[in-house]
């Protein structure tokens, strides 16, 4: 009974490579930990890991295979990254409802919810929304990315007046989406300060 319960709480394989994991060892095996590239920031955005190699693999397992153990190790890096930062609540960058239906889940929402839990701050869900779906950013240059997302968010009027917000996305490239969402949070919701954070950053456009 106790062993079965432990099995539920402590997964017995590494979430990065599925190698068996000995009891008492860290969740992410030494080889995966060594292969993961940390990235403290990309442009003005706070990031935790580089979106490449093992980092991209862990994100893929979390997003498309719904691996909770992958989310758990990714979250550890994210929590570590925002430690010491001042914020009063977490706002995940919302996907358009149509996109969420396609994927079945909203990974950024799940990340934001767990980050809020782990940092003891509220999740301000439903404050920020999409006003229209945006075409995929893949393959676009920085200027086109900015144009692509302009005016694509809406926020509940004065909902965060004077508040300091941690705005979270899963992956950032140019920061265009986070910038646009941050402007909307300031101008429409009245946020005083918006800390832009992404779990992973990629420099490949």
Q: How far is CA 76 from CA 1, 93, 151, 201, in A?
A: 28, 20, 33, 16
Pairwise CA distance, residues 107 & 71, whole Å: 9
Which is nearer to Zn ion, 34 or 205 (by Cβ)?
Answer: 34
Q: How far is the CB of 30 from Zn ion (least distance, A)?
A: 8
Which is nearer to Zn ion, 14 or 91 (by Cβ)?
Answer: 14
Q: How far is the CB of 21 from Zn ion (least distance, A)?
A: 8
Which is nearer to Zn ion, 50 or 140 (by Cβ)?
Answer: 50
Judged by the rule CB under 5 A, the positions of this chain that interact with Zn ion are: 14, 16-17, 29, 32
Which is nearer to Zn ion, 16 or 94 (by Cβ)?
Answer: 16
Pairwise CA distance, residues 181 & 6, whole Å: 41
The β-bridge partners of 130 are 153
Q: How far is the CB of 191 from Zn ion (least distance, A)?
A: 39
Which is nearer to Zn ion, 30 or 103 (by Cβ)?
Answer: 30
Contact 78, 47 (CB under 8 A): no
Pairwise CA distance, residues 156 & 151, whole Å: 14
The β-bridge partners of 92 are 168
Q: How far is CA 55 from CA 32, 43, 126, 152, 201, in A?
A: 9, 19, 29, 28, 10
Pairwise CA distance, residues 6 & 197, whole Å: 33
* Closest by CA position to 194, among listed 96, 85, 109: 85
Q: How far is the CB of 15 from Zn ion (least distance, A)?
A: 7
Q: How far is the CB of 29 from Zn ion (least distance, A)?
A: 3
Q: How far is the CB of 17 from Zn ion (least distance, A)?
A: 3
Which is nearer to Zn ion, 32 or 111 (by Cβ)?
Answer: 32
Q: How far is CA 114 from CA 3, 30, 92, 119, 196, in A?
A: 26, 25, 11, 9, 17
């Amino acid at each position: 009974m106790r062993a079965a319960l432990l099995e539920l709480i402590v997964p017995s394989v590494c979430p990065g490579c599925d190698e068996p994991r000995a009891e008492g060892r860290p969740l992410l095996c030494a080889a995966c930990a060594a292969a993961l590239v940390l990235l403290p920031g990309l442009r003005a955005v706070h990031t935790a890991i580089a979106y490449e190699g093992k980092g991209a693999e862990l994100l893929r397992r979390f997003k498309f295979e719904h691996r909770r153990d992958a989310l758990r190790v990714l979250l550890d890096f994210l929590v570590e990254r925002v430690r010491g930062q001042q914020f009063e609540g977490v706002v995940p960058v919302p996907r358009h409802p149509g996109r969420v239906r396609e994927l079945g889940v909203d990974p950024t929402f799940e990340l934001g919810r767990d980050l809020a839990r782990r940092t003891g701050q509220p999740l301000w869900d439903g404050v920020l929304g999409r006003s229209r779906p945006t075409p995929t950013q893949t393959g676009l240059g920085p200027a086109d990315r900015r144009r692509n997302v302009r005016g694509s968010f809406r926020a509940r009027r004065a909902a965060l007046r004077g508040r300091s917000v941690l705005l979270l996305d899963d992956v950032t490239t140019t920061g265009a989406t986070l910038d646009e969402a941050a402007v909307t949070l300031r101008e429409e919701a009245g946020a005083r300060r918006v800390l832009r954070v992404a779990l992973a950053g990629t420099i490949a456009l």
